[in-house]
């Protein structure tokens, strides 16, 4: 059987317990069934990890993956993803990142890396031109992500090496710790950094000169040109994102009254303009930074003035970050927000969860739930710029109250006696859109397999931005069907592994030619759609086996279901989840949040239906 194009044809398995490394191959039919990235990772996790495993134990695995388009001429194909059982949520969990590390992994000869076991001493993995070895990392342990990257590059004397690593937060098993590559790109959510830290794996450095083969060059390049053309012509990908970055959303979302403010107590932040994409461009932007092979270049590199108390420079901030450290905490000081972002990059923290958790703490403090002695002189009042910077430090090192913040919003709120102020789904902090003013987005949050997330079904596109066309954001009719289309489609994007911003201008039908040209498969639109649906169902199967996922978990915090938005254009609305959920289950072929045998078998997942049946968890 000849190998499909697009892939390097080799994955690396690293057992850190016995320090053994070996190359493996995956059958063509597995690749065609799951594509790569998130899909392949979900398949491998389901096959290899006990769903009940402690995420921070040696029995959990951490899988890094590229896709069949990574490192090719396909636009925005410079990304990679990580899949594991996450410590923040106890769900199956994928996290995506950009930069240059993903393509370099392929150039070094590998499609994916499976990390299993745990090392006794800190190590790092060095992969170069088809070879891999573990190296001592005792001298790197304790270092931030920037120092780690610089030291590894210096050690090898090759500035072209790309490094993905954890910072002190991952080492300290902070449940909102992320993976940082290229110093400023993050696989942010879920606490993958803590999983890597639990394995004493400090970094993976990659360097290579190989190129992924393309099965049908002319067909592939024809599709590449057509995709680029659409991206350049679209107002979001051709104009707004390049000019102002993702923070272009600040003013738009605030004007719609859905910018979650002070821990989702309202949806309007009156001074949000101070940290908008437009203000960033005017005051601190140094240059745009594209990921590998990207024509949009939404990334920002910024510098804070020398006379600022937060002087410094680095990657960011993005929309979700300025929201998390801005509206969510009531802070509108752009320098402090940007500094907190720089710290998250250096210490290895997810900016969304970090800012969100600080907002949770501020509400607990406002309600008199935090003892003063826990704070050591810090006053976490709404809008305190110094607090967001200081609390980021304390979280990474689990210092004082930081030890509680390191556990995430759900555990923090429970510990201090107010679980209702944790604005989370499946334990993951909600991001920068209040769903009370975007009903479909609310359904997307509630049914997200990896916990509260805007990137499973970005319903903001049709409900606010009018992409592909505007739908009534307050209406619940038809939303279930749209959410399923987005969830399945995004599972395909994450498996190819393309940047989601492509989806503003292109969709599955535009990628058929890319996949067919790269791999040589006669892939169809229907096949891609089925792959997306298969992935979403497989993830749900893992969660059911892990903790009994289903209807009880497909919900939102009471604040969003019962407390009407108090002001602004979304005033008076709550999320009418009960109007959408039954229809969603019907369209999915699920019963009370669980896939039926008929649905699983239709998707080629009989073995997983059998597993559910054995566990007594298959719906009647």
Among 16, 137, 206, 298, binds ligand SF4 (CB under 6 A): 298
Stretch that binds ligand SF4, among 291-299, 309-317, 536-544, 561-569 (CB under 6 A): 291-299
Is the distance from CB of 536 to CB of 590 less than 8 angstroms?
Answer: no
Mapped onto helix, strand or coil, the DSSP state of residue 561 is helix
- Residues 492-511 close enough to bind ligand SF4 by CB under 6 A: 499, 501
Q: How far is the CB of 505 from ligand SF4 (least distance, A)?
A: 11
Q: How far is the CB of 263 from ligand SF4 (least distance, A)?
A: 27
| Whole-Å CA distances, 147 to 86, 161, 310 | 26, 14, 19
Q: How far is the CB of 205 from ligand SF4 (least distance, A)?
A: 21
**Residue 204 makes contact with ligand SF4 by CB under 6 A:** no
Among 161, 205, 291, 443, binds ligand SF4 (CB under 6 A): 291
Q: In the structure encoding, which two tokens stand for residue 617, read together?
A: 């968890």
**Residue 290 makes contact with ligand SF4 by CB under 6 A:** yes
CA atoms of 326 and 386, how far apart (whole Å): 12
Determine if the peptide bond prior to 497 is cis (ω within 30°).
yes
Query: What is the spatial order of strands in the sheet that 131-136 belongs to?
Result: 131-136, 123-128, 201-207, 162-165, 179-181, 185-187
Among 297, 386, 465, 617, binds ligand SF4 (CB under 6 A): 297
Size of the site for ligand SF4 (CB under 6 A): 12
Stretch that binds ligand SF4, among 266-274, 288-296, 309-317, 327-335 (CB under 6 A): 288-296
Mapped onto helix, strand or coil, the DSSP state of residue 437 is helix
**Residue 299 makes contact with ligand SF4 by CB under 6 A:** yes
Q: In the structure encoding, which two tokens stand for residue 551, read together?
A: 């209807």
| Residue among 488, 572, 485, 583 at smallest CA distance from 533 | 488
Angle at Cα 467 formed by Cα 466 and Cα 473, nearest 5°? Answer: 45
Phi and psi at residue 132, in whole multiples of 5°? Answer: -140, 145
Q: How far apart are the first and last CA of the chain?
A: 41
Helical ranges in 333-408 per DSSP H: 334-347, 351-366, 385-396, 402-405
Over the window 51 to 80, marking each residue x when it contacts ligand SF4 by CB under 6 A and - when it does not, the resulting string is: -------------------------x-x--
**Residue 228 makes contact with ligand SF4 by CB under 6 A:** no
Is the distance from CB of 177 to CB of 169 less than 8 angstroms?
Answer: yes
Phi and psi at residue 136, in whole multiples of 5°? Answer: -60, 135
- Residues 515-534 close enough to bind ligand SF4 by CB under 6 A: none
Q: How far is the CB of 127 from ligand SF4 (least distance, A)?
A: 22
| Whole-Å CA distances, 283 to 127, 286, 310, 336 | 40, 9, 14, 14
Q: How far is the CB of 287 from ligand SF4 (least distance, A)?
A: 12
**Residue 401 makes contact with ligand SF4 by CB under 6 A:** no
Stretch that binds ligand SF4, among 18-26, 286-294, 404-412, 549-557 (CB under 6 A): 286-294
Q: How far is the CB of 248 from ligand SF4 (least distance, A)?
A: 12
Over the window 92 to 131, marking each residue x when it contacts ligand SF4 by CB under 6 A and - when it does not, the resulting string is: ------x---------------------------------
Q: Which is nearer to ligand SF4, 235 or 524 (CB)?
A: 235
Is the distance from CB of 554 to CB of 581 less than 8 angstroms?
Answer: yes
Q: How far is the CB of 196 from ligand SF4 (least distance, A)?
A: 22
Q: Which residues, 6+ apart, have CB-to-CB distance to 565 below 8 Å?
A: 257, 266, 267, 434, 436, 437, 571, 572, 573, 574
Over the window 449 to 488, marking each residue x when it contacts ligand SF4 by CB under 6 A and - when it does not, the resulting string is: ----------------------------------------
C-alpha dihedral sign at 409, 413, 416, 421? positive
Q: How far is the CB of 77 from ligand SF4 (least distance, A)?
A: 8
Burial of 254 (0-12, 13-18, 19+ CB in 10 A): buried
Q: How far is the CB of 195 from ligand SF4 (least distance, A)?
A: 23
> How do strand 112-116 and strand 11-15 relate by DSSP bridges?
parallel
Q: Which residues, 6+ apart, have CB-to-CB distance to 210 below 8 Å?
A: 8, 106, 107, 108, 109, 129, 130
Q: How far is the CB of 493 from ligand SF4 (least distance, A)?
A: 11
Q: Which is nearer to ligand SF4, 78 or 593 (CB)?
A: 78
Q: How far is the CB of 75 from ligand SF4 (least distance, A)?
A: 8
CA atoms of 572 and 214, how far apart (whole Å): 54
Q: Which is nearer to ligand SF4, 100 or 484 (CB)?
A: 100
Stretch that binds ligand SF4, among 292-300, 433-441, 449-457, 598-606 (CB under 6 A): 292-300
**Residue 244 makes contact with ligand SF4 by CB under 6 A:** no
**Residue 294 makes contact with ligand SF4 by CB under 6 A:** yes
Q: How far is the CB of 192 from ligand SF4 (least distance, A)?
A: 18
In the complex, the residues that contact ligand SF4 under the rule CB under 6 A are 76, 78, 98, 290-291, 294, 296-299, 499, 501
């Amino acid at each position: 059987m000849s190998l499909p194009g697009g892939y390097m044809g080799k994955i690396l398995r690293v057992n850190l317990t016995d320090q053994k490394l070996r190359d493996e191959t995956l059958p063509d039919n597995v690749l065609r069934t799951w594509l790569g990235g998130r899909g392949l990772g979900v398949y491998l996790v389901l096959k290899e990890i006990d769903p009940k495993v402690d995420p921070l134990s040696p029995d959990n695995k951490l899988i890094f993956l590229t896709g069949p388009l990574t490192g090719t001429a396909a636009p925005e194909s410079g990304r990679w993803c990580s899949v594991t059982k996450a410590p923040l949520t106890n769900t199956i969990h994928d996290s995506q990142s950009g930069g240059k590390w993903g393509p370099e992994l392929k150039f070094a000869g590998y499609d994916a890396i499976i990390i299993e076991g745990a090392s006794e001493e800190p190590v790092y993995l060095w992969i170069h031109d088809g070879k891999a070895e573990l190296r001592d990392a005792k001298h790197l342990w304790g270092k931030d992500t920037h120092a780690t990257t610089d030291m590894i590059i210096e050690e090898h004397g090759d500035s072209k090496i790309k490094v993905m690593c954890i910072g002190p937060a991952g080492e300290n098993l902070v449940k909102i710790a992320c993976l940082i590559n290229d110093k400023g790109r993050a696989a942010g959510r879920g606490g993958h950094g803590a999983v890597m830290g639990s394995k004493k794996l400090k970094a993976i450095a990659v360097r290579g000169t190989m190129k992924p083969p393309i099965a049908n060059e002319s067909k592939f390049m024809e599709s590449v040109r057509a995709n680029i053309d659409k991206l350049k012509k679209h107002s979001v990908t051709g104009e707004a994102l390049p000019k102002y970055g993702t923070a272009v959303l600040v003013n738009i979302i605030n004007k719609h009254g859905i910018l979650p403010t002070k821990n989702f107590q309202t949806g309007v932040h009156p001074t949000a303009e101070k940290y908008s994409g437009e203000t960033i461009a005017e005051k601190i932007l140094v240059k745009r930074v594209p990921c590998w092979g990207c024509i949009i270049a939404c990334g920002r590199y910024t510098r804070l003035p020398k006379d600022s108390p937060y002087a410094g420079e680095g990657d960011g901030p993005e929309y979700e970050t300025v929201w998390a450290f801005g509206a969510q905490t009531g802070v509108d000081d752009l320098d402090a927000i940007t500094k907190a972002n720089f710290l998250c990059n250096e210490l290895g923290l997810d900016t969304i969860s970090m800012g969100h958790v600080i907002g949770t703490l501020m509400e607990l403090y406002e309600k008199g739930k935090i003892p003063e002695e826990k704070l050591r002189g810090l006053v976490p009042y709404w809008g305190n710029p110094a607090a967001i910077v200081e609390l980021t430090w304390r979280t990474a090192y689990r210092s004082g109250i930081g030890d509680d913040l390191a556990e995430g919003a759900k555990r923090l709120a429970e510990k201090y006696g107010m679980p209702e102020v944790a604005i989370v789904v499946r334990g993951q902090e909600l991001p920068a859109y209040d769903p009370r003013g975007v009903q479909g987005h609310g359904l997307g949050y509630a049914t997200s397999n990896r916990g509260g997330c805007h990137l499973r079904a970005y319903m903001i596109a049709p409900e606010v931005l009018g992409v592909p066309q505007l739908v009534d954001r307050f209406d619940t009719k038809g939303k279930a069907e749209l959410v399923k289309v987005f969830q399945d489609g995004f599972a395909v994007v994450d498996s190819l592994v393309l940047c989601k911003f492509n989806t503003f201008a292109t969709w599955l039908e535009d990628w058929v030619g890319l996949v067919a040209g790269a791999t040589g498969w006669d892939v169809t639109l229907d096949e891609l759609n089925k792959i997306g649906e298969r992935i979403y169902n497989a993830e749900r199967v893992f969660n059911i086996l892990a903790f009994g996922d289903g209807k009880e978990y497909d919900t939102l915090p009471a604040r969003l279901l019962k407390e009407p938005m108090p002001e602004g254009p979304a005033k008076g609305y709550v999320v009418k989840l009960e109007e959408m959920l039954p229809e969603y289950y019907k369209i999915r072929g699920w019963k009370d949040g669980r896939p039926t045998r008929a649905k699983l078998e239709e998707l080629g997942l009989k073995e997983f239906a059998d597993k559910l049946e054995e566990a007594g968890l298959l719906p009647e």
